[in-house]
Amino acid sequence: MFRETALGRRKRRVEVVARWVLLGMSLALIVPLLLIVVYLVVKALPALSLGFLLDPPVRGMRAGGIWPALLGTIYLVVISLAVAAPIGILAAVYLNEYARDNWFNRLINLAVINLAGVPSIVHALFGLGAFVLAAHIGKSILAASLTLAVMTLPVIIASTREALASVPRPFREACWNVGATRWQTIRAVVLPNSISGILTGVILQVSRAAGETAPIMFTGALFFKAVEKGDIFAYGLFEQCMALSMHLYVIATQVPDVPEAIPYATAVVLLGAVLLVNATAIVARIFMRSRKKW
């Protein structure tokens, strides 16, 4: 009754090929990541310990730990997000919920998209010119954080808008129909149902801000600074600081005779921090999606 035709056979063959090719591509994605992680961890193993995290580097960065750099990166990321997240989220709410489709808002959109594509070294030069020199902040944590904020802002705006746009329009119309203002609608329906997407977008920018070297190199990152072991208030807002990405660059290329394990261990810490943050984003998203309401 169901005799297979030539076309049916061909469709089935294509189906099998497609499945395996696509699976192969997915594996090809994972393999290098695993290789990198395993390679790094194996190389780093001799140096890794809790002391490595909490100790300052000693003997011209050829021994000891990475505490000042780790702390500096945390400072930079936290401050840059404290600036970029509120501005980015509120701007995205305006653009998505209030802005009419006119030339001015289209211009803003265009600017946001293009800004997101600007290479980080250009942001670095902008930060140097705008914050360090023109605004007279000087090379400092503040200037570097602001530079990172400018770099992450357009992406936060874009991801937030995407999250807001995923809330179906009929929900908004239902609210308007009963006499709710736009803001009441946003508060009651739009934000609660897009907050997981918004936070995911913001958290993903943490890893980007933590990993970039160029923007902070000219604006506030330091070669070396003496910091007490485990001191969490080592830096002031207007001081320069060390940072993980910069530190890695320095010990890998600028300082001779660094034991091999130390740069690898630094890289593992940076990678681990990024993975930790991303994992937090994923868990947060799963948690909030489980409360999603439609």
Partner 1 sequence: MVTPPKTIEVQNLRLAYGPKEVIHGISFDVRRHEILGVIGPAQSGKTSLLRCINRTIEFTPGVHLQGAVRVDGEDVQKVRDVFALRRKIGMVAPLPVGLPLTIYDNVAFAPRCSGMRSRSELDGLVEQCLRQAALWDEVKDRLKTLGTKLSGGQQQRLTIARALSHQPEILCLDEFSIAIDPVTTMRIEEVLKELRKEMTIILVTNLVQQARRLADRTMFLWNGEIVELDRSDVVFSEQPRDRRTYEYVNGIFG
Both tokens assigned to 121: 């070294």
CA 70/CA 281 separation, integer angstroms: 20
| Residue 126 interacting with partner 1 (CB under 8 A) | no
The CA distance from 291 to 294, in Å, is 9
Least distance from C-beta 172 to partner 1, angstroms? 8
The angle subtended at Cα 256 by Cα 252 and Cα 258, nearest 5°, is 65
For 276, residues 6+ apart whose C-beta sits below 8 A from its C-beta are: none
Residue in 7, 100, 103, 226 binding partner 1, rule: CB under 8 A: 100
Give CA–CA dist 201/197, Å, rounded: 6
Shorter beta-carbon distance to partner 1: residue 147 or 193: 193
Shortest Å distance, C-beta 99 to partner 1: 10
| Residue 175 near partner 1 by CB under 8 A | yes
Q: Is position 32 an interface residue for partner 1 (rule: CB under 8 A)?
A: no
Q: How far apart are CA 194 and CA 172, in angstroms?
A: 13
Q: If binding is defined by CB under 8 A, does position 294 make contact with partner 1?
A: yes
Q: Contacting partner 1 (CB under 8 A), which of 193, 200, 207, 219? A: 193
| Out of 11, 12, 229, 292, the residue judged to bind partner 1 by CB under 8 A | 292
Q: Does 107 participate in binding partner 1 (rule CB under 8 A)?
A: no
- How far is Cα 188 from Cα 180, in angstroms, rounded to an integer? 10
Work out whether 293 is an interface residue with partner 1 (CB under 8 A). Answer: yes
List of residues contacting partner 1 (CB under 8 A): 100-101, 170-171, 173-181, 184, 188-189, 192-193, 292-294
